[in-house]
Amino acid sequence: MDLLKIASTAFVGVCLLAVTACGGGGANAPPTPEFAYVTNSGSNNVSAYTIDASTGALAAVAGSPFAAGTQPSSITVDPTGKFAYVTNSGSNNVSAYTIDASTGALAAVANSPFPAGMQPSPVTVDPTGKFAYVANAGSNNVSAYAIDASTGALAAVAGSPFAARMQPSPITVDPTGKFAYVANVGSNNVSAYAIDASTGVLAADAGSPFAAGTLPTSVAIDPSGKFAYAANSGSYNISAYTIDARTGTLTPMAGSPYAGGTSSSVTVDPTGKFAYMATSGRSPGAFAYTIDAGTGAFTAVVAGSPIVELTAIEFSPITVDPTGKYAYVVGVAVVTQTEAVFAYAIDSSTGALYSVAGSPYFLPGDYSYVGSITIDPTGKFAYVADDFGLAYAYTIDASTGALTAVTGS
């Protein structure tokens, strides 16, 4: 299961970071999810949907699906909710679109698609919405672009692409927008860069790259921007670092690496108090950790083995809902050999996971790979997309975390 394939079927709510773009009730009003998008690698297009704010049901946007490049593998919406960017892994470029704020329809930006390197990863847009970055696993570098605030067009910044190491994974930008990090899968380390606030140019840290474990596949940064965590899928552990607030330099934490699993990512909850990592194989389950607010160090909720047996042989990264109360993972159940959604309640004091009544929720049919689950910004709805062109929609019970299939799903 690779990160690109997970990303290729992830729904992205337009108003994830931009309430007004989705018709919200103002800066202090809760976000209202209106649109969802999914890339279709086999048909070279993007499906677009409106989301019913009451029921969570999906309805195709007029004109959907919208043409993309060859083998579109992921879609990213900028923080303003005005633009969308699709990575085309088969044609090594990025398709750019404007988003109609009323209908959710996509319109190709002039001169789109824009060149990238070989095997481009999902687009990462910095928190300001001014710059976009794509790690190119086949070219061992990072493409950097300035985003035209009026049109959404991408223009390569001076010096792009910037050197990385072997097989860089999707780039992670810290919450301040000052630093960027890339896990280099093939060279077992992490590249660190400072971002020029005016130009978007990346400057490699003097000590970069920083050592990680075997096959690091992603970097997660806690909400405070003080700590970074690399998921090492080959050595089944997590490399942990403190981030220098002035330079972005990574310093390994005492006790790092921490025992973990085979997942391609570490999930830090919205509060920054807990972290999770899934593992497959002989003892499938979920590792849970508390995060020391001062040092960023991990302490296992239960020492040694995973705290939750998923009874699954393979699964997606763990997703925590926006409230931080529930966690969800899509896995392949051992007994039925079918996909299922595993739901857990999070203990707010300890971070421990407890299975929600009714979990797991089985998806019909066999599987060709594990899909992914995305929670809408309000925490009311959950969506799963699979490899058969099907999308499953659920409502989330706010008091229990239980899932109920949306009518028509």
* pLDDT per residue as tens digits for the range 320-344: 999 999 999 887 766 666 778 889 8
Candidates 129, 148, 61; CA nearest to 101 is 61
Kindly provide the residue ranges of all beta strands, DSSP E only, lying in 236-338, ordered along the sequence. Answer: 237-243, 250-252, 258-259, 267-268, 274-279, 285-291, 298-300, 308-309, 312-315, 319-320, 326-333
Q: List residues bridging with 344 in a β-sheet.
A: 327, 355
184-207 mean pLDDT:
97
- CB atoms near residue 92 (< 10 Å): 22
153: Cα within 13 Å, side-chain hemisphere: 7
Query: Is residue 373 a contact partner of residue 329, using CB atoms and an 8 Å limit?
Result: yes
pLDDT at 208 over 90: yes
Three-state SS for 4?
helix
26-44 mean pLDDT:
69
β-pairing, 285-291 vs 298-300, is: antiparallel
Residues 6 or more apart whose CB falls under 8 angstroms from that of 63 comprise: 48, 105, 106
Angle at 113 between CA 109 and CA 118, to 5 degrees: 155
Query: Which residue segments constitute the domains of the chain, with CATH numbers given?
Result: 1-117 (2.130.10.10), 267-409 (2.130.10.10)
Candidates 204, 187, 314; CA nearest to 263 is 314
Candidates 174, 180, 261, 247; CA nearest to 213 is 261
User: How is 161-180 classified by DSSP, letter by letter?
Assistant: SEE--SSB---EE-TTSSEE
Q: State the Cα–Cα distance between residues 104 and 125, nearest whole angstrom.
A: 19
298-315 mean pLDDT:
63
The per-residue pLDDT for 317 is 79
Q: State the Cα–Cα distance between residues 355 and 392, nearest whole angstrom.
A: 21
The per-residue pLDDT for 23 is 38
Mean pLDDT across the chain: 85
| Proportion of the chain above pLDDT 70, given as a percent | 83
The per-residue pLDDT for 263 is 78
Residues 6 or more apart whose CB falls under 8 angstroms from that of 210 comprise: 189, 190, 192, 241, 250, 252
Query: Is residue 91 a contact partner of residue 71, using CB atoms and an 8 Å limit?
Result: yes
Residues 6 or more apart whose CB falls under 8 angstroms from that of 178 comprise: 194, 195, 197, 248
The per-residue pLDDT for 353 is 87
Query: Is residue 182 a contact partner of residue 142, using CB atoms and an 8 Å limit?
Result: yes
Three-state SS for 113?
coil
What's the pTM?
0.89
* pLDDT per residue as tens digits for the range 94-144: 999 999 988 999 999 999 999 999 999 999 999 999 999 999 999 999 999
Q: List residues bridging with 315 in a β-sheet.
A: 331
* pLDDT per residue as tens digits for the range 154-178: 999 999 999 999 999 999 999 999 9
Candidates 49, 38, 37, 42; CA nearest to 89 is 42
Angle at 371 between CA 355 and CA 333, to 5 degrees: 50
* pLDDT per residue as tens digits for the range 266-282: 999 999 999 998 876 55
**Which two structure tokens, joined as six digits, stand for 174?**
């810290």
The per-residue pLDDT for 115 is 98
